[in-house]
Structure 1
Amino acid sequence: MSDTQTLIENRPPSVAALFLERVAATPDAEAYRYPVPAASGEGPDEWRSLTWGQAAERVYAIAAGLIELGIESEQRVALASSTRVEWILADLGIMCAGGATTTVYPQTNADESAFILSDSESRVLIAEDAAQVAKAVERRGELPALTKVVVIDPAGAETGDWVITLAELEKRGTAYLEQHPELIKERVGAITREQLATLIYTSGTTGRPKGVRLPHDNWAYMARATASTDLISADDVQYLWLPLAHVFGKVLTSGQIEVGHVTAVDGRVDKIIENLPVVRPTYMAAVPRIFEKVYNGVAAKAREGGAAKYKIFQWAAEVAREYAKASQDSFRRTGTTSVPFALAAKHKAADALVYGKLREAFGGNLRACVSGASALAPEIGYFFAGAGIHILEGYGLTETSAASFVNPGEAYRTGTVGKPLPGCEVRIADDGEILLRGPGVMEGYHQQPEKTAEVLESDGWFHTGDIGELSADGYLRITDRKKDLIKTSGGKYVAPAEVEGQFKAVCPYVSNILVHGADRNYCTALIALDEPTILQWAADNGLEGKSYAEVVAAPQTVEMVDGYVKQLNEGLQRWQTIKKFRLLPRDLDVEHGEITPSLKLKRPVVEREYKGLIDEMYNGAREA
């Protein structure tokens, strides 16, 4: 048995136990950094730190406070907050109390929040602020199991008997611990592998979300399995901004506890560009939309600089892609990275002109980024790889605790999601569906045995719903969602995500694109443009002062996008080509339910919302 297998098989029963081990091993080492806004409300944030020992004091106080409120083994405590250090401390506190965390996105409306709180039978809600408290207060009559609301930031919230502050909970917990000093050790010691740790509700595209039951063992396995890769080390500084209510963000907290590196936590997406040079992370995880926005922003800035500057950028982007492809091909064949001399020379020149500035924008220390939640367009991945920002794509689902596959360090291959984590088995079904089995797979859907049986076989194989291909040496490539594959009326199959990804690499102004064509004679597309970049383009093209809706309706905008659609079509098979498209009057967003909080497209919602535009593109048309 290898050292890795031994480490994974000898894992403790819970991340709560891992946390106690980490605190005992490195109590004075830095654990978390978090921003505190300037007192004046202006100027840069002040970043503060917590050591593992300081974090433990707060975690144990929260745990004891919850126990004093009556939380027992597996009882749910809901957490409705954006990504901040208190989210992590509260989640660890819930686990150390033996309870289970129900995660709620802060963007979730009052109706769906009430459904999640009711379906999970959550006893306590830890809410970020007055806005999150108000949702619970509004539906209090529908939530008989909810005995207490704890608010992290109490400004504007009416506290009292039912609503208390997090500071008050910690104060009560500290007093309770003085009377029961062995309480946390006893609670954590009693946790079993099979005990429920987390209930995450998937943002379903139709109907109510399903609660995914993830036991303590899932996270203990994930902590050990991710730490066993060459992805993270004790010297790392992670920048964590992903939503912690999402399984991708949550899994990043487990590996950190096992390894003991520093994590800088700030979920404000609008602060990412400002934070990166301050935090100077060595690694961070993101979803493809972030890399697309950075790429489009850099391209748009180069265009603003005039024709010569834009030409240099286009040349440098092509060199980056060529260099990345040659490097990865060389490593695959020989185990070393070498490229032709002429290409290396061009790459050195492009690095001085373009890539160096891009790396500085990421803080200058970035060793690797992990991308997940949806597919990254390979051409965008190759661009960043060639620029020295290595994006390691990974793959997993809420039902598999997020991380089932990840690209291995130097041996990563753009366009694939890498190899399975140690302990994860993979099989490709006859119809191409990816099946997974291992310690990361969920227990099942909460109170929905029939839904569980649809995806989870009795021998542990989980049906992912994704279509993929395995290379001879174990790299997985996802081709599409099984249910998203388009079959045209001519009988041809089209993978919309593949076409959409290619368009994002071609057009620097796109924000979201949906390719449609199921049971139709040809494919069409709904395209939403990125507001800041298209408004800048508009200002340079005689449309200054126009609103977003006016700009996208302008003939010159449609003509400009049409040029990129034609460029896309040149690289596609005839049946994949986009015959017609429509520009949407606004971008797709979470608030309208068109994309999930992890920025995945909800196809049925968008197709329903814009049915009129889709029908318009097919009226009386026969463009085979």
Structure 2
Amino acid sequence: MSSAHSLIDSGRADIVAGRPASVAHLFLERVAATPGAEAYRYPAPVDEQAADSAPGAEQWRSVTWAQAAARVYAVAAGLLSLGIRSEDRVALSSSTRLEWILADLGNMCAGAATTAVYPSTNADETAFILSDSGSRAMFAENAVQLAKVVAERERLPELQTVILFDAPAETPDAVGLKIVTLAELEQLGADYLAEHPGVVERTVAALDKEQLATLIYTSGTTGRPKGVRLVHDCWAYEGRAQEASGLLAADDVQFMWLPLSHVFGKTLISGQIATGHVMAVDGRVERIIHNLPVIRPTIMASAPRIFEKVYNGIAGKARAAGGAKYRIFLWAARTAREYARTAQANRIATGSDRVPFALGLKHSLADRLVYAKIRAAFGGRLRGAVSGSAALAPEIGYFFVGAGVPILEGYGLSETSAGSSVNRAEDIRVGTVGRPLPGTEVRIAEDGEILLRGPGIMRGYHNLPEKTAEVLEADGWFHTEDIGELSADGFLRITDRKKDMFKTSGGKYVAPSEVEGKFKAVCPFVSNILVIGNGRNYCTALIGLDESAIMPWAAERGLAGRSYTEVVADPQVHQLIDGFVQRLNADLQRWQTVKKFHLLPRDLDVEHGELTPSLKIKRPVVEREYADAVTAMYAGSNEA
């Protein structure tokens, strides 16, 4: 195969090469090595009988590795008692919580394969995933998830059992479906273990590294999702590679709120087991800001949207304070970016990230006035915040790095078990997704497409050999459909999705994500932006605003009491955003500039099918929904 540039990071390859056959093996090794060490933390209601408890109060409780193992063994044995055997698919539909992890590990220790289902998935698509995967059992978080299965029961003849994390007051009648609680399954497992001592250890010992471990269905932007086949070796590799790279360490405290049904969240479970650090688990997005100073994590992972919202929130509060406070924030933001850029440039050129004395003084002052408060909001101990699943605007990255919140942008896909490359805390290069994990090869094809090869690559799409052949070559190279560049010292930069790049009617290529990222950096009110221009004679944009940022601004300008839809339709708001569009255009090539834009009457969301569960924009869906607005932006343009 021809290539422009290829690289493999073989650093600490001994750790990766010596991996066991599965994460189940890793888990048993971890339990044996540190049984009394803390493994997980989870929020639980405070005992209502406690004298000082308030209604709805919560406290964080701890689980040791030995305690986790006892429950995982019981889950695994319970599944075996129900007749679940090697590679049988067991679905899992729940928000991120401790039980998700215990169920997934129980599946693997029983030799089963987890079919991951987003809890936000509707009944029709849930039924498709369960049917296509051939799932025989399902862990369901609550009555809402159970109802989807009951409603589509006729389409799911292979599904025999549903295990509920939270039992409803009344269990619905579903013909031919056994419904038990997680506690009941664990009791079944305890009884089975009493009759068959050592059965879980024997089952794990028999696991083969090429045995199916997980089916993750891509939340692709068009058509039915495809089941990505990830075998046990994929997860064992990810665990050891994250450890070998230094991304995760034994003394870390990781805050896990990401959807575990998404490959990004799930891969970090493997790394946590390999290193043995503490993982605090709570998937309630509305609790993130509250949880951070309580957990005080050293490492966490997030989609870029969260960092963008945090930045917009900080900027919004400073703007609301007005006067000197806002001027100080703007100065501190510029200083953070200048400091991060200068340190990075010097590190690349000389190996030292020292900055000029005067800049260092400015940065120290800004740190006392602004940055220290930002770090405290993240808990005060964060050594790295991994960003993935979508591109992070470099200006946002420079700001946080300069403020002492190192954002470690990484790269991967469902088809690569997520982790393929990542920045390391000691050598961050903003604007890149870092170096490949040990054991992963990267190649840039002649047309600029990024190709990947390594143990983390999927073994194919479930029941779709033709689709598999389109992206996976016989020698193991996977076609990512992303366009990128690889520096001489191994840093990978993503420039755009191959299928998202478009050519204007004037023959100029535009990478929309580049333009969109730049706009997010200059406009603190934006939530989502979609740049359009394929075959057109200029670019336009559909823009959704961040309600929490624009509504306070609007209230200060006589628009208090109006709805979001009314606010974004007001000429003052259009004029405000137009100013940011002009700032954007000043930094673009002529053919990239956004000539017209339309403010959406509501922001894009998952519920309306415009965003994937990992918050990627479904471009065709959005363009179809707002086709009239797009047409209006090109009216009278004399397009070819």
The answer to whether the Cα contact below 8 Å between 2:10 and 2:439 also exists between their aligned partners in 1 is: no
Does 1:266 find its partner at 2:282? yes
**Aligned position for 1:13:** 21
SS in 2 for 1:410: coil
**Aligned position for 1:586:** 602
Match of 1:288 among 287, 304, 312: 304
Alpha-carbon distance in 1 for matches of 2:201, 2:298:
34
Does 1:363 find its partner at 2:376? no
How far did residue 3 of structure 1 move?
7.8
**Aligned position for 2:70:** 57
Match of 1:189 among 205, 210, 224: 205
How far did residue 597 of structure 1 move?
0.9
How far did residue 307 of structure 1 move?
2.9
How far did residue 378 of structure 1 move?
0.2
Alpha-carbon distance in 2 for matches of 1:231, 1:622:
53
Give the AA of the match of 2:143.
A
The answer to whether the Cα contact below 8 Å between 2:72 and 2:105 also exists between their aligned partners in 1 is: yes
Does 1:304 find its partner at 2:358? no
User: C-alpha deviations, 1:411-441, integer Å up to 9, x for none?
Assistant: 1100000111111111111110000111010
The answer to whether the Cα contact below 8 Å between 2:10 and 2:438 also exists between their aligned partners in 1 is: no
How far did residue 206 of structure 1 move?
1.3
SS in 2 for 1:383: helix
**Aligned position for 1:484:** 500
**Aligned position for 2:3:** none
**Aligned position for 2:239:** 223
Does 1:566 find its partner at 2:579? no
**Aligned position for 2:43:** 35
Match of 1:26 among 34, 38, 44: 34
Aligned pairs for 1:86-165 (under 5 A) are 86-158=99-171, 162-165=178-181
TM-score between both structures, scaled by the size of structure 1: 0.98
SS in 2 for 1:514: strand
SS in 1 for 2:349: helix
Structure 1 residue runs of 5 or longer lacking an equivalent are none
The answer to whether the Cα contact below 8 Å between 1:355 and 1:387 also exists between their aligned partners in 2 is: yes
Bigger relative contact order, structure 1 or 2, given CA contacts below 8 A and separation 6+? 2
Does 1:445 find its partner at 2:446? no
How far did residue 337 of structure 1 move?
2.1
Aligned pairs for 1:324-473 (under 5 A) are 324-473=340-489
Match of 1:72 among 60, 85, 98: 85
Give the AA of the match of 1:5.
A
Alpha-carbon distance in 1 for matches of 2:553, 2:189:
56
The answer to whether the Cα contact below 8 Å between 2:118 and 2:613 also exists between their aligned partners in 1 is: yes
Give the AA of the match of 1:114.
A
SS in 2 for 1:484: coil
How far did residue 330 of structure 1 move?
1.8
The answer to whether the Cα contact below 8 Å between 1:579 and 1:623 also exists between their aligned partners in 2 is: no
Aligned pairs for 1:164-243 (under 5 A) are 164-243=180-259
Give the AA of the match of 1:249.
G
SS in 1 for 2:452: strand
Alpha-carbon distance in 1 for matches of 2:45, 2:227:
35
The answer to whether the Cα contact below 8 Å between 1:159 and 1:165 also exists between their aligned partners in 2 is: no
Give the AA of the match of 2:33.
A
How far did residue 585 of structure 1 move?
0.3
User: C-alpha deviations, 1:479-510, integer Å up to 9, x for none?
Assistant: 00000002100000111001101111111110
Aligned pairs for 1:582-621 (under 5 A) are 582-621=598-637
Alpha-carbon distance in 1 for matches of 2:409, 2:138:
34
Alpha carbons of structure 1 residues 157 and 222: separation in structure 2 relative to 1, 3 Å:
farther
User: C-alpha deviations, 1:274-299, integer Å up to 9, x for none?
Assistant: 00000000010001000000000000
Structure 2 residue runs of 5 or longer lacking an equivalent are 1-8, 49-53
Alpha-carbon distance in 2 for matches of 1:507, 1:426:
34
The answer to whether the Cα contact below 8 Å between 1:302 and 1:310 also exists between their aligned partners in 2 is: yes
The answer to whether the Cα contact below 8 Å between 1:522 and 1:623 also exists between their aligned partners in 2 is: no
SS in 1 for 2:315: helix
Give the AA of the match of 1:99.
A
The answer to whether the Cα contact below 8 Å between 2:22 and 2:233 also exists between their aligned partners in 1 is: yes
Alpha carbons of structure 1 residues 623 and 568: separation in structure 2 relative to 1, 3 Å:
farther
Alpha-carbon distance in 2 for matches of 1:475, 1:157:
55
Alpha-carbon distance in 2 for matches of 1:616, 1:2:
54
Alpha carbons of structure 1 residues 292 and 623: separation in structure 2 relative to 1, 3 Å:
farther
SS in 1 for 2:499: helix
The answer to whether the Cα contact below 8 Å between 2:432 and 2:493 also exists between their aligned partners in 1 is: yes
TM-score between both structures, scaled by the size of structure 2: 0.96
Give the AA of the match of 1:409.
A
The answer to whether the Cα contact below 8 Å between 1:287 and 1:373 also exists between their aligned partners in 2 is: yes
Match of 2:60 among 21, 31, 47: 47
The answer to whether the Cα contact below 8 Å between 2:383 and 2:425 also exists between their aligned partners in 1 is: no
User: C-alpha deviations, 1:63-103, integer Å up to 9, x for none?
Assistant: 00000011000000000000000000000000000000000
Alpha-carbon distance in 1 for matches of 2:385, 2:418:
16
Give the AA of the match of 2:63.
L
Give the AA of the match of 2:36.
D
Alpha carbons of structure 1 residues 558 and 157: separation in structure 2 relative to 1, 3 Å:
farther
Alpha-carbon distance in 1 for matches of 2:466, 2:47:
53
Alpha-carbon distance in 1 for matches of 2:448, 2:170:
52
Alpha carbons of structure 1 residues 382 and 620: separation in structure 2 relative to 1, 3 Å:
same
Alpha-carbon distance in 2 for matches of 1:335, 1:359:
26
Alpha carbons of structure 1 residues 209 and 354: separation in structure 2 relative to 1, 3 Å:
same
How far did residue 123 of structure 1 move?
0.4
**Aligned position for 2:95:** 82
Alpha carbons of structure 1 residues 453 and 3: separation in structure 2 relative to 1, 3 Å:
closer
Alpha carbons of structure 1 residues 447 and 623: separation in structure 2 relative to 1, 3 Å:
closer
Give the AA of the match of 1:181.
P
**Aligned position for 1:527:** 543
The answer to whether the Cα contact below 8 Å between 1:407 and 1:419 also exists between their aligned partners in 2 is: yes
SS in 1 for 2:186: helix
The answer to whether the Cα contact below 8 Å between 1:488 and 1:520 also exists between their aligned partners in 2 is: yes
Alpha-carbon distance in 2 for matches of 1:526, 1:597:
20
Give the AA of the match of 1:412.
I
Alpha carbons of structure 1 residues 2 and 495: separation in structure 2 relative to 1, 3 Å:
closer
Q: Which moved more, 1:85-94 or 1:134-143?
A: 134-143
User: C-alpha deviations, 1:149-194, integer Å up to 9, x for none?
Assistant: 0000113351787211000000110111011111001100010011
Give the AA of the match of 1:487.
K
Matched-pair identity in %: 67
Alpha-carbon distance in 1 for matches of 2:617, 2:545:
14
Number of aligned positions between the proteins:
624
Give the AA of the match of 1:317.
A
Alpha-carbon distance in 2 for matches of 1:502, 1:562:
15
Match of 2:525 among 509, 519, 535: 509
The answer to whether the Cα contact below 8 Å between 1:332 and 1:411 also exists between their aligned partners in 2 is: no
The answer to whether the Cα contact below 8 Å between 1:129 and 1:157 also exists between their aligned partners in 2 is: no
**Aligned position for 2:5:** none
How far did residue 205 of structure 1 move?
1.3
Give the AA of the match of 1:586.
R
Q: Which moved more, 1:406-415 or 1:478-487?
A: 406-415
**Aligned position for 2:6:** none
How far did residue 409 of structure 1 move?
2.3
Alignment root-mean-square deviation, CA? 1.4
